[in-house]
Amino acid sequence: MKRTEPRSRDRALAWLARREYSGLELRERLARTGCPEPEIASLLEELRNEGAQSDERFTEEFVRIRRIRGEGPIRIARALEARGIGRELAARHLARTEGEWVRAAEEARAARFGGALPEDAGRQGIQARFLLRRGFSAATVAGLWQSWGRAFLEEAGGGIPEEEG
């Protein structure tokens, strides 16, 4: 197997040392540096075979970070697709029960709005739109205000904050 130009390889390894990159992201970065396409394909194959680049590892880390930031599965899936990650791989890493996404939605809601779940429709609407924009499904958002979602939050620990007075 022909080795790629050391400069392109060194660049790619330096990027990968800082953070994980999807194969598509790495391909685009190498192309911007003027690396020819046949060399990029060869280099990416070498890096995958050596374990330096992995879409599986990238996806796992990406989902973990985005979930911590308070993003929902819909938004994360779109971001992964834009980075060249297939739907099957993304779905495998996003697979959680609806209750776990309710917990994630509650964490994002509480970080933004604090305090108790709102009881009036106006505040619920504002908070629901925020969560929908963050990529949570309508069912997940509705679960925050429905009995099954509240029951899950209580069972998952931490409970539900006291209602606003």
Q: Between the ranges 12-16, 115-119, 137-141, 142-146, where is the mean pLDDT highest?
A: 12-16
- Residue 150's pLDDT is 67
Confidence label for 163 from pLDDT (cuts 50, 70 and 90) = very low
123-142 pLDDT, tens digit per residue, is 999 999 999 999 999 988 88
164 against 87, higher pLDDT: 87
Can you give the pLDDT at residue 62?
96
Max mean pLDDT range (34-38, 51-55, 97-101, 117-121): 51-55
Taking residues 129-156, what's their average pLDDT? Answer: 81
For the cut 90, the answer to whether the pLDDT of residue 15 exceeds it is: yes
Res 5: pLDDT: 61
Classified as helix, coil or strand, 147 is helix
Compute and round to an integer the Cα radius of gyration of the chain: 21
Annotate 26-87 with three-state secondary structure. HHHHHHHCCCCHHHHHHHHHHHHHHCCCCHHHHHHHHHHHHHHCCCCHHHHHHHHHHCCCCH
Show the domains of the chain with their CATH numbers: 6-53 (1.10.10.10), 56-94 (no CATH), 98-155 (no CATH)
Amino acid 149: pLDDT: 62
Percent of the chain with pLDDT over 90: 67
Q: Given pLDDT bands bounded at 50, 70 and 90, which one contains residue 164? A: very low
For the question of whether the overall pTM of this predicted structure is more than 0.75, the answer is yes
